[in-house]
Amino acid sequence: MSRDKTAVDNSKQKVRSAEVGTDILKALAELSPSTSLSRLAEHVQMPASKVHRYLQALIASGFAEQDAATNHYGLGREALRVGMAALGSIDVLKVAALPLSQLRDALNESCFIAVWGNQGATVVNIEPAVRAVTVVTQIGSVLPLLSSSTGLVFAAHLPERETIELRDRELAARGQRVEDYMDLLTQIRTRGLHHVHGLLMPGVDALSAPVFNAMGQIAAVMTVVGPTSIFHADEDGPAARQLLTAAQTVSWRMGYEA
């Protein structure tokens, strides 16, 4: 056997070993917080003896660990460190860019994404509708908490301490009760999205859905806006379904598991 062929075979073997190790790490994550050797072997469809050999290597490198009391296996400190680094590198704007433009193409209505900033719900990316007259907010615009679908979706999912000052100020200006507001937030969480008809701007409807990160926290809100005469923002309509799909796609790419 030539040296070149031997080198190629060794390289293939290393790649295959890395793939097996990765499969076992994924299985440990899926079966977290811990699992037995037999269950892990069944999950990856490999002989337990083979899985055990790989586990020993993963334990030695800090990517897996074994509980001395139960003999169960779980992810180790190094795996958690790598995972946290990966989460920290995820940029919701980059992740949402393509789904946002695809949503605009599908609906031909203006679509934007907002994040929660110091002043409230802040627009950070816009895909305007392709028509002579479009409904477009500007990048950097801060939307009201109680009179925009975007703000209300944030309010439904953010901790109360982050919205209470803005909420109480807007409630006082509108002469509304906190109880009515809280009931609405419960409905938004139940439905998974929210729509408004001409609330922020007469003749303009809006439909919003949340984007979550890997820890289940709201990371952004995706919104579709359009003129009432042609845009149907009903929560059980086709636009709502497409918006939900887009928001769920971004959430999944952010690491969120529903």
- Mean of all residue pLDDT scores within the chain: 85
Answer for the pair 93, 125: CB distance below 8 angstroms, yes or no.
yes
Q: pLDDT class for 140, splitting at 50, 70, 90?
A: confident
Tens digit of each residue's pLDDT (9 = 90 or more) over 141-177: 889 998 899 999 999 999 999 999 899 888 888 888 7
Q: What is the pLDDT of residues 84-137, one digit of tens each?
A: 655 554 588 889 999 999 999 999 999 999 999 878 899 989 998 887 556 667
Share of the chain above pLDDT 90, in %: 38
Give the total residue count for the chain.
Answer: 258
Domain annotation for the chain: domains and CATH numbers: 3-88 (1.10.10.10), 92-253 (3.30.450.40)
What's the half-sphere exposure (Cβ side, CA atoms, 13 Å) at 86?
Answer: 11
Which strand (E) or helix (H) includes residue 64?
strand 64-66
b/e sequence 214-233, b meaning 16+ C-beta within 10 Å = beeebbbbbbbbbbeeebeb
**Residue spans of alpha helices (H) in the chain:** 3-30, 37-44, 48-60, 77-88, 92-107, 149-157, 160-174, 178-191, 238-253
pLDDT tens-digit series, residues 49-66: 999 999 999 999 888 999
Phi, psi (rounded to 5 degrees) for 159: -60, 140
Q: How many CB atoms lie within 10 A of CB 104?
A: 20
